Amino acid sequence: MGKRILVVGGVAGGAGAAVKARRTSEDAEIVIFERTPYVSWANCGLPYYIGGIIQRREELFIVNPGRLASRFNIDVRTRHEVTAIDRSRKTISVRNLETGDTRDERYEALILATGTEPARLPIPGLDSPRVFTLVSVEDADRLQSFLEEHRPANAAVIGGGFIGLETVEALLERGIAVTLVEMMDHLLPPVDREMAEPLAIHLRDKGVRVLLGEKVAGITENGTTRKLQLKLASGNTVACDFVISAVGVAPRLDLARQAGLSIGQAGGVVVNDRMQTSDPDIYAAGDICEIRHLVTGKPVRVPLAGPANKQARVAGANAAGGNMRYAGSLGTMIVKVCDLTIAKTGLSEREASFEGIPHYVSYTHSQHHAGYYPGARMMTVKLVVDRFTGRVLGAQIVGGAGVDKRIDVIATAIHARMTVEDLEDLDLAYAPPYSSAKDPVNIAGSVAANIHRGEVDAIGPDELEALLKREEIQLVDVRTPAERNKTGEIPGARLMPIDQLRELAGELDPHKKTVVYCAVGYRSYLAYKILKQRGFDDVSHLAGGFDAWKMFHGKPQRT
């Protein structure tokens, strides 16, 4: 008989590790203990089930105990909770939740994949039966039953992260009015503020009441109407029929702590690249682990399905006698928000600043395929670049279509430690229905490479705002009068359309600080070149143009 491998937890981490262990060793005895009735389900699909996009509940279940037993010879014990680990005896204590019986189980290798649970804020009233979370199948069942029975008209969602945003869309699909409350000053906190601004605008256009910088202080219920009221720290209130708390998730670390395993500064179980914990006979995978960030090299927690699946394969293989390695993660993420998609990989600008990495950023606005082919949608690409080497450190993209393809290309480039000049040169597929001759990734690389090579001096919207506050400059708008009248302008700008700039440049002082801007950055780049070659000492162009400025400043001033 081979090794006895016990797995604590199902879903991506546990079930994936068990299956990989079987593929590695046909002789191993493999047992999964899962506290819920389900061994593996698509928790990422729960909001789409609530919204009716996924119509059959059964479609959420990836594999059942019968399939794991028949195809992989894995013993699955659902409704069994592991309560303790005895490392000296190499046993775990297991409680049968159906009968209440407890017994010890021996292991030679143990894999922990206990996952996460909804984070709970210290908010009075959060235990109301009309307050829901959406992390497990049981959560979805409870919410679905409530929606079908009570047919509520309006809801409040607390938290503007992934689960919160996906839940807002799900409720809109059901015709429910939604108020979204986020304590940060922007939605989707992992991305930079200006890149998230289009999400708030889009949701408001969809009828969502979006409250940013608001903290929930308490929840009360009207005993007569059963209406809930959210009391906000600002003094404002939100009335609704029910609440969904989507303030994030916390790793289930009780077992790891009880066993005395090392917990790191990032708040997860410490593992090496073989997914071994501080006890070499105990492995861990998924959301409870802290792993290496591929840009900074520092330990981070990345509670996402992609990394969890990869870690599970490594843990399962090595527990069964294999020798696989897990390099780490970039934290690549993507979320659909009604008709928009936003994605991130690597470091945000805020994270690069926190790490003390000298960097610069670039903004580009491109259509996701050839503009003359019907259906082209705009996307904004933000690159974060190492100031000295030109290495791509991170990217964020928001747009209507094609975002997934581009973020994956850039994630691959970051994994390979490519520079912006490499992005500029990438040979990417082109046909009018799919891209342009210069793909948005190539364009982003070219613009960032121009900055890296010193071909242009670019200034970001936030830098321009600070500059305008501290000194008087020549701010030149090189768009057309029609564009300015339609979309607004940056206060204090002089209008000099690019096609007339050569004639009008004499009206400017060549020795005064000058910043030029257009809609997206191309014409201002041309203007920069014109002025530079006419002897202007100190000229910059606005990275990303007026469109990037609007992402920082919301509604523009109109003439």
Q: Delimit the domains of the chain by residue range.
A: 4-117+250-319, 131-247, 339-452, 458-553
d(CA 59, CA 54): 7
**Check: CATH 3.40.190.10 for 458-553?**
no
Determine whether domain 131-247 maps to CATH 3.40.50.9100. no
Asked if pLDDT for residue 554 goes beyond 70, the answer is: no
- How far is Cα 197 from Cα 191, in angstroms, rounded to an integer? 10
In this prediction, residue 558 carries a pLDDT of 32
Q: What proportion of the chain, given as a percentage, has pLDDT over 70? A: 99
**CATH T-level assignment (fold) for domain 4-117+250-319:** FAD/NAD(P)-binding domain (3.50.50)
H-helix or E-strand spanning residue 251: strand 249-251
For residues 463-476, average pLDDT: 92
* Predicted local distance difference test score (pLDDT) of residue 280: 97
- Per-residue CA distances from 203 to 197, 211, 381 (Å): 10, 11, 20
Asked if the model's pLDDT at residue 559 lies above 80, the reply is: no
pLDDT of residue 226: 81
Q: Are 401 and 368 in contact (CB under 8 A)?
A: yes
Q: Give the residue from 202, 247, 521, 205 showing the smallest Cα distance to 341.
A: 202
Cα-based distances in Å from 219 to 158, 222, 240, 416: 11, 10, 10, 48
Residue 54 has pLDDT above 50, yes or no: yes
Predicted structure pTM score: 0.93
Q: Name the DSSP letter for residue 13.
A: H
Reduced 3-state DSSP string for 194-216 = HHHHHHHHHHHHCCCEEEECCCE
pLDDT band (50, 70, 90) for residue 1 = low
**pLDDT at position 12, please?**
82
* Burial track 394-420 (b if 16+ CB lie within 10 A, e otherwise): bbbbbbbbbbebbbebbbebbbeebbb
CA 256, chain centre distance (Å)? 27
- Residue 91: its pLDDT value, please? 98
174-191 pLDDT, tens digit per residue, is 999 999 999 999 999 999
- Mean pLDDT over the full length of the chain: 94
- 3-state SS, residue 140: helix
pLDDT digit string, tens, across residues 478-510:
999 999 999 999 999 999 999 999 999 999 999
Question: What tens digit of pLDDT does each residue of 392-402 get?
Answer: 999 999 999 99
Annotated catalytic residue 44: yes
Domains 4-117+250-319 and 131-247 share a fold: yes
Per-residue pLDDT tens digits for 279-312: 999 999 999 999 999 999 999 999 999 999 999 9
For domain 339-452, the question of CATH label 3.50.50.60 is answered with yes
Q: Which residues pair with 355 in a beta bridge?
A: none
The residues, any chain, with a CB within 8 Å of residue 456's CB and separated by 6 or more, are 450, 525, 528, 529, 541
pLDDT of residue 4: 97
Catalytic residue among 44, 240, 338, 518: 44
